[in-house]
Amino acid sequence: MKTYSTLLGGIVGLMVLLTSGCGRDLSTAQGVTEEFVDHHYVTFDLQKAKAYAVSLALDKVNDEIRLTTGQKIDASTQKPRVNYRLLEKKEGERRASFLFEGTIQSDDGSSFTRKWLIAARKEGGQWRVSNFSESD
C-alpha cells in the first residue's frame, strides 16, 4: 500500500511540475512579446494584446480596435491558422527586439508568410511591447 501511495504522489508531483512549466514567464521580454503575438496575430484578441502594449504599440492596437469596431468576429467567423517561430532576438537590460516569422494558412489550403518585428521595453519593472511592424 505504501508503494502505491508513493507512486501516486510521484505522479501527482510530476503533473504539477509539467503543468506549471506550460505558461510563459511574463517577467521576461520574450514571454511578454510572445503573449502579445499570440493575442494580436494568432487569436485576434486585440483587447488582450492591448494589455501588453505601451507607447506607439498601444496607439496602433487602439487604432486597430477602432477600425474593427462593429465587425462581428465570433465562433462562426472563419479564421486562418497562424503558426510562428522566433528568427532573431536582441535583448538588453531595458530594451529588446524579436523578429518572428508567421505562417498564415486559410481553410482553402493557401498560405503565406509574414515577418513581425516586435520591440519591447521595461517600464516600472515590467516588460511591455512598445512597437511592432509587419513585412513580407
The model's pLDDT over 8-56, given as tens digits with 9 standing for 90+, comes to: 444 444 443 333 345 899 999 999 999 999 999 999 999 999 999 999 9
Decide if 125 is inside a domain.
Answer: yes
- Strand partners of residue 99: 88, 117
| pLDDT band per the 50, 70, 90 thresholds, residue 72 | confident
- Could you say which DSSP state residue 3 is in? H
Mean pLDDT of the region 100-124: 95
12/18 Cα distance (integer angstroms)? 10
Question: How many separate domains does the chain show?
Answer: 1
Q: What is the distance between the alpha carbons of residues 29 and 40, in angstroms, rounded to a whole number?
A: 16
Q: Does some domain include residue 14? A: no
Check whether 114 has a pLDDT greater than 50: yes
* pLDDT above 90 for 105: yes
Q: Is residue 119 part of a domain?
A: yes
User: Full-prediction pTM beyond 0.85?
Assistant: no
Q: Using one digit for the tens of pLDDT, what is the confidence trace for 81-104?
A: 999 999 999 999 999 999 999 999
Helix (H, G, I), strand (E, B) or coil at 98: strand
Strand order through the sheet with 111-123: 81-91, 95-105, 111-123, 126-135
Mean pLDDT score, 68-91? 87
Any domain includes 2: no
In a domain, 19, yes or no: no
Does 34 map to a domain?
yes
Domain residues for the domain of 114 are 26-135
CATH number at residue 70: 3.10.450.50
Task: Judge whether 5 lies within some domain.
Answer: no
Report the alpha-carbon distance of residue 120 to residue 133 in Å, rounded. 12
Residue 15 lies in a domain: no
